[in-house]
Structure 1
Amino acid sequence: MTGRSRNDAGQAFPIYVVMVAGLLFLVFAFFAVGKASALRNGAQGAADAAALAAAQQTREDFGDPFLASLPGNMLEQFLQTRLVTGCPAAQGLAAANQADVVSPCQTTRAGYRDRIEVEVEGRKPVDSSVIPGTENKFAKATATAIVEFRCLGWKALDFNDDGVQDLYIFPCGEAGVVEIAPGSPPPWSQVSKILYDVHLVDN
């Protein structure tokens, strides 16, 4: 009986080794999947921040050309031809979140709305010892932000009947009403967030 027990134990030992090795592999594999998921979430956060930064910088840069278009009665033209200028700001926010912008901002325009799409790549590789090739795999993510003129048209008043508008009134729904006198406009920082909405959208 003793000889048979020892023989059975000797036969079972390789099975135990295989089982332990398999369990260790699963543990490392789950760890790799968890790390990849965390890096993907981090990359998405960086993409969101970068897209919002680009949109917010663009809204800030609208100030001078927007106000300059008022005395020239060229507001409609400006709203249709404005430039998206905030893309360099995207890299700064991406870098602050351990990522890099991997392609230029993709911008599209529809009416008074601009879409700014940013793609980023995280700086930390998955680098799992149990999944070949992951030492060169980096998480990527894309985010899209909107810069939208939210006011329901505008009313221009010419007090002197000289063809030059003296006051613009912008009703902007729940955001409020903005009054801008081209000759003495308020600081752009006070009115930009009412005139323009910035937010993320699903890709």
Structure 2
Amino acid sequence: MRGSRDKGQAFPIYIVTVAGVLFAAFAFFAISQAAVVRSNAQKAADSAALAAAGDARDHLLPGLDFAKLGPADWRNILDGRLFDGAGACGAARGFASDNGATATCEAALPSFTVVATTRTGVGSSVVPGIAGTRGTATATARIDPRCALGSAPDPGGEPPAEGSPPPKPDPVEILCRGGDVIHFDPSKPDPWRTLARSLFDVRLVH
């Protein structure tokens, strides 16, 4: 009879132990879900911030005529002072959406700060306060110059003689890190986007 009583007393302990183990497993799963949601938010924020900075880097202020730019103008370009950031935050929101998040974007050229919030949250959870929680993360990306002006023609020189074609401008010489030298023909410019990706780095600055 004593053995039966011992078994009867042990059974509730067994039930409580199993329940505790299950609760711990569900809690661990919920915490893991929350970590994944936060990670997704950070990925969305990072990609959106980089997209904003990349879009601004790829666009100069409209109306610039490379053939008419002098040395001071080229220094402003290479220092990152003439970017057109009009579409940058739109690019950030688009990339965040592609990564399952919404985003707010603050432009402070040459930097962009994005706050991304996931559209979906943590599922039902045994841990109080976690169910439905969405991930939120912040990222800042910046455009960094990597080149300086070597030389550039001065378009304010003497005008050509009457009836003579305008002289072809000398190439712009740009000196970049690592010893790279770029010779840019302002009379036959490549697309700015192509050149910009050699002149500037875009990086996260968390």
Q: Distance in 1 between matches of 2:153 and 2:52?
A: 34
Q: For 2:65, give the aligned amino acid.
A: A
Aligned to 2:85: 84
The TM-score, its normalising length taken from structure 2, stands at 0.80
Structure 2 gap ranges (5+)? 160-166
Q: Distance in 2 between matches of 1:41 and 1:82?
A: 31
- Matched-pair identity in %: 37
CA contact (8 A) 2:56 2:83 kept: no
Q: For 1:96, give the aligned amino acid.
A: D
Q: For 2:81, give the aligned amino acid.
A: Q
Matched residue count: 193
1:42 Cα deviation after fit = 1.5
Aligned to 2:25: 27
1:160 Cα deviation after fit = 8.7
1:55 Cα deviation after fit = 1.3
Aligned to 1:133: 129
Call closer, same or farther: CA 1:41–1:69 in 2, change over 3 Å.
same
CA contact (8 A) 2:49 2:139 kept: yes
State yes or no: 1:193 paired with 2:197. yes
Call closer, same or farther: CA 1:21–1:80 in 2, change over 3 Å.
same
**What are the within-5 Å matches in structure 2 for residues 112-191 of structure 1?**
114-158=110-154, 161-162=157-158, 166-174=170-178, 176-191=180-195
Call closer, same or farther: CA 1:129–1:142 in 2, change over 3 Å.
same
- Higher relative contact order, structure no. (Cα contacts within 8 Å, ≥ 6 residues apart): 2
Call closer, same or farther: CA 1:64–1:175 in 2, change over 3 Å.
farther
Q: For 1:56, give the aligned amino acid.
A: G
Q: For 1:144, give the aligned amino acid.
A: T
Structure 1 residues 87-126: Cα deviation after superposition (integer angstroms, max 9, x where no partner): 111111111111111x2x22334xxxx1211110112211
1:154 Cα deviation after fit = 3.7
Which secondary structure does the structure 2 equivalent of 1:122 belong to? strand
Structure 1 gap ranges (5+)? none
Structure 1 residues 29-85: Cα deviation after superposition (integer angstroms, max 9, x where no partner): 0001111111211211111111111111111122755x4366143344564354423
Task: Judge which range, 85-94 or 153-162, deviates more.
Answer: 153-162
1:139 Cα deviation after fit = 0.8
Aligned to 1:99: 101
Call closer, same or farther: CA 1:159–1:117 in 2, change over 3 Å.
closer
Q: Which has the higher helix share?
A: 1
**Could you tell me which of 52, 55, 76 is aligned with 2:53?**
55
